Amino acid sequence: MSDPVRLVFLGGLGEIGRNCFCLEVEGRILVVDCGIMFPDADMPGVDLVLPDFTYLRENADRVEGVFLTHAHEDHAGGLAYLLRDVPVPIYGSRLSLGLARNRIEEAGMLGRTELIPVADGERRQIGPFDCEFVPVTHSVPHAFATAYHTPVGTILHTGDFKLDLSPVDGRKTDLALLGEIARRDGGVRLLLSDSTNAERPGYTPSESTVGESMRDLFRDNTDQRIIVACFSSHLHRVEQVAAAALASGRRVAFLGRSMVHNVTLAREMGLLDLPVDRVIDIEDTSRYAPGEVCVICTGSQGEPMSALSLMAAHEHKWVKVSEDDLVVLSAHAIPGNEINVSRVIDSLMRAGADVVHDATAPVHVSGHASREELKFMMNLVHPDWFVPVHGEYHHMVQHAALARDVGIPDDHVIVCEDGDVLSITDAGIDVERRGVPAGYQYVDGIVGDVGLGVLRDRRNLAEEGVVVVFVTVDAVSGEIVTGPEIVTRGWIYAPEADELLEEAKTAVRDSIVDAAKEGAIEFETLRRHARRALGRFINERTRRRPAIIPVVIEV
Ligand SMILES: [Zn+2]
Ligand SMILES: [Zn+2]
């Protein structure tokens, strides 16, 4: 009997984001994807959320490399953080590596990191890992599903995918190869499949339908400047918008750092064909009438410092939005970004622009397979075992239900979560729940883990405010020398609450006088008395619970 093959899920099972799992064969580890998650409203001040790399740090000598299924942030955004502790080669399609390269460079890790391209349909040995790379369609070109041929059978990971039958670049999800893998000796032992749209009925429309909408939009709006915001990695979207703009006689300008970078990369790689004389610099757009220009930019997620937000706020150097503009948000808000997106739509409208987004026109389609496609995949591959991945818990539960609908036996469908470890043997699959640390790692600025305590404090401060009381006492007698003085933020508006603040000071003063009378003049004791008296007063008078910081100074 062969040694067990292990799968260790570090992220992405229970949230959209920070996708990362380890495949372990013969004691070696292949890391599949290394993504980030965007913070939501209850993570104040957090820039991004990483997987917990503790397990990988502790086993760094066993890591063979990282394979990127594609270069979206939720799959590749955490690379720079991992590479600092675990410097290993990175495998992926040429484009994925090209897109990820920027991230690695920003972290100053490029010189130490080997980037190894793999090709469509290629079968390659990475250490003990026998990998086969299957083309799939998604919202970034050149994404992969991967078959890992292991001693305990073939594990097929779909990666992020949809079944686009008329993709913009003609590179379809290779159903023939998937079918062949399923028919080879032993078939597919375990399928790991993308659950993002497991609640969405039917089929996800083809990316090429967005091209039709764009052509209509450009045809019907000839006088306004058209500004289209989309993901800079969505090169097929960029291509279709540019093609529609050029066909309507406009010139195209690109805006936003990652947009300019990715378009340049795609043109160098021959993935984006744009006539040189029709692409203009953003500085030159004002030389043309609004109807002669199209701007393709970043900021479709409402990111506050992005090109689109700056334009909407009239803070952009070259582009000011007005009634001469039609702005198209060609994207859907990622969970956590909804508020920012509606805010940017509001500011664009206040600036006078017409705004079109995916709720009002078919200017966006998803990059993920809907229910019928997910069932198609399971039927095509007919795996022995099934584990839904890439989704919130309810997405994965729905996906598991679909598996049962297509006839995969109940006891061969496992809903896993972050931190779970699967051991796969010839006999079956064992699950160890929460076998490795897999909590959220919060990144704020350049400080690694912000920690749950800090976040709790930030939430409390945001909800209740803070009250600081200063008092100076005589070290020998315990008598008050100066104060108490009270400074507050977020509890009450101090300039309008003189009376309340005076009463609060009296409450603190009385408590210290009482304590001193009883001989309790020790500094810590006085602090405790001040805090308790002030807390009780604030609660009685305002029914609020701000953070209270007593500062007692002995002289
Ligand atoms: Zn993706
Ligand atoms: Zn993804």
Q: How many angstroms separate the CA atoms of 537 and 156, rounded?
A: 63
Residues 6+ apart with CB under 8 A from 207: 137, 139, 164, 167, 168, 236, 237, 240, 365, 367
Distance 478 CA to ligand 1 centre (A): 65
Starting from the CA of residue 195, give the closest ligand.
2
157 exposure class (CB count in 10 Å sphere: 0-12, 13-18, 19+): buried
Distance 192 CA to ligand 1 centre (A): 15
Starting from the CA of residue 138, give the closest ligand.
1
Distance 517 CA to ligand 2 centre (A): 66
Nearest C-alpha neighbor of 388 from the set 140, 136, 204, 190: 190
The pLDDT tens digits along the chain (555 residues) read: 678 999 999 999 999 999 999 999 999 999 999 999 988 777 767 778 999 999 999 999 999 999 999 999 999 999 988 998 899 999 999 999 999 998 888 778 888 899 999 999 999 999 999 999 999 999 999 999 999 999 999 999 999 999 999 999 999 999 999 999 999 988 999 999 999 999 999 999 999 999 999 999 999 999 999 999 999 999 999 999 999 999 999 999 999 999 999 999 999 999 999 999 999 999 999 999 999 999 999 999 998 889 999 998 888 989 999 999 999 999 999 887 888 999 999 999 999 999 999 999 999 999 999 999 999 999 999 999 999 999 999 999 999 999 999 999 999 999 999 999 999 999 999 999 999 999 888 887 655 566 667 777 777 777 888 888 888 888 777 788 888 888 888 887 777 778 888 888 888 888 888 887 777 767 778 888 888 888 888 888 888 888 888 888 878
Q: How many angstroms separate the CA atoms of 134 and 131, rounded?
A: 10
Q: How many angstroms separate the CA atoms of 186 and 154, rounded?
A: 8
Which residues have beta carbons under 5 A from ligand 1 (an ion)?
72, 160
Catalytic (active-site) positions: 194, 368
* Phi, then psi, of 494 in degrees rounded to 5: -50, -45
Starting from the CA of residue 231, give the closest ligand.
1
Distance 19 CA to ligand 2 centre (A): 7
β 90-92/20-25 pair status: unpaired
The string of DSSP letters for 344-375 reads HHHHHHHTT-EEEETTTSS----SS--HHHHH
Residue in the structure block whose two tokens are 């690695």: 104
Distance 13 CA to ligand 1 centre (A): 14
Q: How many angstroms separate the CA atoms of 435 and 14, rounded?
A: 16
Q: Tell me, what's the pLDDT at 124?
A: 97
Starting from the CA of residue 19, give the closest ligand.
2
β 225-229/153-157 pair status: unpaired
Nearest C-alpha neighbor of 346 from the set 36, 394, 338, 453: 338
Residues 6+ apart with CB under 8 A from 145: 69, 133, 134, 135, 136, 156, 157, 158, 159, 161, 173, 178
Q: Residue 107 — left, alpha, or beta (φ > 0 → left; ψ -120 to 50 → alpha)?
A: alpha
Starting from the CA of residue 161, give the closest ligand.
1
Distance 36 CA to ligand 1 centre (A): 12
Distance 332 CA to ligand 2 centre (A): 14
Q: Tell me, what's the pLDDT at 195?
A: 98
Distance 231 CA to ligand 2 centre (A): 13
